[in-house]
Amino acid sequence: MTRHPLALITLMLALGACQREERAARPSPVGSETQEQVALVKLSPGVPGPTTYTSGKAKEFEGNAYHLSQGKKLFTWYNCNGCHASGGGGMGPALIDDRWIYGGSIENIVQTIREGRPNGMPSFRGRVPDDQIWELAAYVRSMSGNAPASAAPARSDSLHPHPAENRTSPSPPVSGGIVPPSGLLPQ
Amino acid sequence: MTTGALALRLLPIALALPLASCNLVQSPLNPVSPQARDLLWLFWLFTAVLAAIWLAVMLALLMSLRARRTFGADPLAVDPRRESRAGILVAGLAVATGLAVLVLTGLSFAGQRRLFADEAAAVTIRALGHQWWWEFQYENADPSQGFNTANEIHVPVGQTVLVKLESTDVIHSFWVPSLMGKVDLIPGRQNTLRFTAERAGVYRGQCAEFCGLQHAKMGMLVVAEDPETFARWREVQSQPRLEPATDEARAGERAFVAAPCSMCHQVRGTRAAGHNGPELTHVGSRRTLAAGTLPMSRGNLAAWIVDPHGIKPGVNMPLVKLDPDELNTIAAYLEGLK
C-alpha cells in the first residue's frame, strides 16, 4: 500500500515533463504581428509609471524547450552572431549579462528585434516571421539564465575548449602510448 | 477458418508483395553502376547460399521427425559404430558451417574493397545533409565553375563521381539504390562514396537513416546523362539566375527579395543571399520540389510557399505572411528560374 503514492507521484512527474516542449507540428496560419507596447524608460509624467500593454503571447514561448532550441538555431541562421558573438558581445552589446539597454522582458526584446535600435541594431520586421522573432527573444533571455534549466538549450559544441570526443581528428599513433596530462604535472 | 484456408487466402497477397518493389526508379534490383552490380551479386549469393542451407536444415529436421528408431531390449545400450558415425557427421557439419561463414565473410570483404577503392573521380560533389533536404556543392579546381544546388544532381554517364558526405545537423544516410549502397553522413566527419553510372536515366535516392519528422520525405534525384548534356547543364547551373522576362516575374523577384524568403534562400544575381535553405538560382530547372516531395509546377510552388507545414509537418520553412499578389508573382518568378 505504501508503494502506491510513490507510483502516483512518479506518474505525475512523468506527465509534468510532457509540457517541456509542447509544440504545434502545424503552426496556425499566419496572422499579423502581435501588439506589444513596451516602455524603454521608467519615467513618465504624472504619478503612475509608463503605460504598457502585452498580448500574452510570451507564455507560449518562455520556458518551452522546443521554441528555445529553435531560437538558438535561428540566432546562428540570421547571423545574430555577427554582432553579438555567441552572446558575449562584440560590435553589439553582450546578451549573457544582466544589463538590458532597452528592457529585458521578452516583449521588450521582441520589439527590439522588430524595430531595431539606434547605433546598429537593424529592424527585422517583415524579414523574419513573427513567431521566429518570439523564439529568438526567448532564446536571448535564456542566455542570461532567464529560462528554466530544464528547458534551456545546452552550450554549443563550438564553445567547448576542445572539440567533442567524437569530433576530434584521430591522433597519430605514438609508440609506447601517450603520457596522460596528469603524468605531465610536477609530482 | 482453418489455418490451411487462411494460408490459402494470404498466399496471393504474399505473392503480390514482391511486385510492389518493381518500380525500378529506386531499387537495388536495378543496378546501373559497377558498384551497385557488385552489391546485387553479393545479395543474390548470400540469399542463394543461405536459402540452400536453411532448406537443407529444414529437410533434415523433417526427416528426423518422421524417422522411427527401433530399440532393442536395453534402450540405453550404446552402439559404438552408430556413435562414431554421428560424431563424424556433427564434426563435418560444424566444419562446413565454419567454412560457409569464412567464405561469405571473405567475399563480402573483397566486395567492400572494390566498393571503396580509391579511384580518381571526374566529378566531385560535396553533399551536405540538412533536416530535411540535400545540399549539393559541385567542386571545381576553377572556383568560378563551382556551384551549389539542392535535391537534384546530374552526373555524366561512364565517369566516376566522388561524393563527399557531410552533415550539418543530425546523422543522415545517402542512398541511391541503383548506384551505390548507403553511406552515412555524420556531423563532424566526412565520408566518401564513388559510383559510375553506366546508363542514362533518372534514379531516385532517399535518406536512409531516421533523421526526424520528415525523414521519409527527404528524397533526391540523380540524373545520369551523356557527358555533353552534363557539360551544358553544368554551364547553365554555374551562371547567375536567368533575368526575369515578364513584368510578373520582375514583380516576383522584387517581392522575393523584400520578403523573408531572402533571409534563407539564395538566388545568385540578386540580393537574396541566405544559405539556410536550398539554393534557388535555377530552381525551375529541377524536376521536384521540397526534396523530392512534389513535382515541379507553378501550382505546387505556390502551395508549398503558402502552407509548407501542410505538406511536410515540422519542416523548417516558416509560414510567411504574403499577399495573394505577392504569392502569385513569386511562384511565377521561381518557376521561370530555369
DSSP string, A73-112: HHHHHTTTHHHHTTTT-SSSPPSSSS--TT--SHHHHHHH
Minimal C-alpha gap between B317 and chain A (Å): 10
CATH of the domain at B272: 2.60.40.420
Regarding whether B315 and B251 lie in a shared domain, the answer is: yes
Interface contact flag, B320 A132, Cβ < 8 Å: no
pLDDT tens column, A121-138? 999 998 999 899 999 999
Measuring CA to CA, which residue among B34, B276, B260, B74 is closest to residue B159? B34
Q: What does each of the 338 residues of chain B score in pLDDT, given as a tens digit?
A: 566 666 667 766 666 665 555 567 888 898 999 999 999 999 999 999 999 999 999 999 999 899 877 777 787 888 888 889 999 999 999 999 999 999 999 999 998 888 888 888 999 999 999 999 999 999 988 888 889 999 999 999 999 999 999 999 899 999 999 999 999 998 888 899 999 999 999 999 999 999 999 999 999 999 999 999 999 999 999 999 999 999 999 999 999 999 999 999 999 999 998 999 999 999 999 999 999 999 999 999 999 999 899 999 889 999 888 899 999 999 999 999 98
Regarding whether B175 and B221 lie in a shared domain, the answer is: yes
Interface contact flag, A166 B318, Cβ < 8 Å: no
Chain A residues whose CB is inside 8 A of the B131 CB are: none
Interface contact flag, A166 B313, Cβ < 8 Å: no
- Residues B264, B277: contact at Cβ < 8 Å? yes
For residue B105, is it within any domain? Answer: no
What's the confidence (pLDDT) of residue B326? 93
What's the confidence (pLDDT) of residue B16? 65
Identify from A127, A131, A134, A160 which residue to disrupt to test chain B contact, counting B C-beta atoms within 10 A and taking the largest count: A127
Regarding whether B262 and B208 lie in a shared domain, the answer is: no
Q: Among partner residues A27, A127, A164, which is closest to B319 by beta-carbon distance?
A: A27
B139, β-bridge pairs: B124
What's the confidence (pLDDT) of residue B321? 85
For residue B90, is it within any domain? Answer: no
Minimal C-alpha gap between B336 and chain A (Å): 24
Cα(B186)–Cα(B180) distance, integer angstroms:
18
| Sheet-wide strand order for B133-139 | B147-150, B133-139, B123-130, B160-167, B191-196
The residue that leads in pLDDT, A156 or A116, is A116
Q: Among partner residues A25, A77, A78, which is closest to B313 by beta-carbon distance?
A: A25
For residue B329, is it within any domain? Answer: yes
Bridging pattern class, strands B183-185 and B147-150:
unpaired
Residue A109: give the domain boundaries.
Answer: 58-155
Cα(A133)–Cα(A30) distance, integer angstroms:
13
Confidence of residue A171 (pLDDT cuts 50, 70, 90): low
Per the structure, the count of domains in chain B is 2
| Sheet-wide strand order for B183-185 | B152-156, B219-225, B201-207, B172-175, B183-185
Minimal C-alpha gap between B188 and chain A (Å): 5
What's the confidence (pLDDT) of residue A149? 87
Q: Mean of the per-residue pLDDT values for chain A?
A: 83
Last residue of a domain, one of B197, B226, B255: B226
Interface contact flag, B260 A129, Cβ < 8 Å: yes
The residue that leads in pLDDT, B151 or A17, is B151
Minimal C-alpha gap between B325 and chain A (Å): 16
Interface contact flag, A132 B313, Cβ < 8 Å: no
What's the confidence (pLDDT) of residue A170? 64
Maximum Cα–Cα distance across chain A: 80
Cα(A102)–Cα(A114) distance, integer angstroms:
13
Last residue of a domain, one of B191, B226, B261: B226
Cα(A106)–Cα(A165) distance, integer angstroms:
36
Chain B residues whose CB is inside 8 A of the A129 CB are: 260, 318-321
- The residue of chain A with its CA nearest to that of B275 is A77
For residue A116, is it within any domain? Answer: yes
Residue B191: give the domain boundaries.
Answer: 123-226
Q: Among partner residues A26, A164, A166, which is closest to B313 by beta-carbon distance?
A: A26
What's the confidence (pLDDT) of residue A180? 61
Question: What is the C-alpha end-to-end distance of chain B, expressed in Å?
Answer: 60
Minimal C-alpha gap between B321 and chain A (Å): 6
Q: Which residues contact B124 (CB under 8 A, 6 or more apart)?
A: B138, B139, B140, B161, B162, B164
Cα(A45)–Cα(B279) distance, integer angstroms:
53
Does this model's pTM top 0.90? My answer is no
Measuring CA to CA, which residue among B62, B1, B55, B22 is closest to residue B10? B1
Interface contact flag, A167 B310, Cβ < 8 Å: no
Q: What is the mean pLDDT of residues A2-24?
A: 74
Region of residue B290 (left: phi > 0; alpha: psi -120 to 50; beta: else): left
* B297: DSSP letter: -
- Residues B178, B23: contact at Cβ < 8 Å? no
For residue B271, is it within any domain? Answer: yes
Regarding whether B259 and B189 lie in a shared domain, the answer is: no
Per the structure, the count of domains in chain A is 1
Regarding whether B134 and B199 lie in a shared domain, the answer is: yes
Q: Among partner residues B263, B313, B314, which is closest to A127 by beta-carbon distance?
A: B263
Minimal C-alpha gap between A7 and chain B (Å): 32
Regarding whether B301 and B217 lie in a shared domain, the answer is: no
Q: What φ, ψ does residue B205 adopt, rounded to 5°?
A: -125, 175
What's the confidence (pLDDT) of residue B256? 94
CATH of the domain at A122: 1.10.760.10
Cα(B224)–Cα(B75) distance, integer angstroms:
72
Q: How many CA atoms lie within 13 A of B74 on its CB side?
A: 4
Chain B residues whose CB is inside 8 A of the A29 CB are: 307, 319
Block residue for cell numbers 531499387: B27
Of all residues in chain A, the percent with pLDDT exceeding 90 is 32
Cα(A31)–Cα(B324) distance, integer angstroms:
14
For residue A147, is it within any domain? Answer: yes
Last residue of a domain, one of B174, B195, B226: B226
What's the confidence (pLDDT) of residue A102? 92
- The residue of chain B with its CA nearest to that of A66 is B314
- Residues B166, B189: contact at Cβ < 8 Å? yes
Chain B residues whose CB is inside 8 A of the A77 CB are: 263-264, 276
Regarding whether B222 and B251 lie in a shared domain, the answer is: no
Block residue for cell numbers 601517450: A178
Regarding whether B141 and B202 lie in a shared domain, the answer is: yes
For residue B233, is it within any domain? Answer: no
Q: Cell digits for B76?
A: 540405453
What's the confidence (pLDDT) of residue B56? 94
Minimal C-alpha gap between B241 and chain A (Å): 22
Cα dihedral B265, B267, B272, B273, rounded to 10, equals: 70
What's the confidence (pLDDT) of residue A25? 72
- The residue of chain A with its CA nearest to that of B258 is A127
Chain B residues whose CB is inside 8 A of the A26 CB are: 309-310, 313
For residue A45, is it within any domain? Answer: no
Q: Cell digits for B85?
A: 558415425
- The residue of chain B with its CA nearest to that of A127 is B260
What's the confidence (pLDDT) of residue B78? 82
Minimal C-alpha gap between A121 and chain B (Å): 16
Q: Which residues contact B179 (CB under 8 A, 6 or more apart)?
A: B32, B33, B35, B36, B195, B197, B203, B205, B222
Chain B residues whose CB is inside 8 A of the A27 CB are: 309, 319
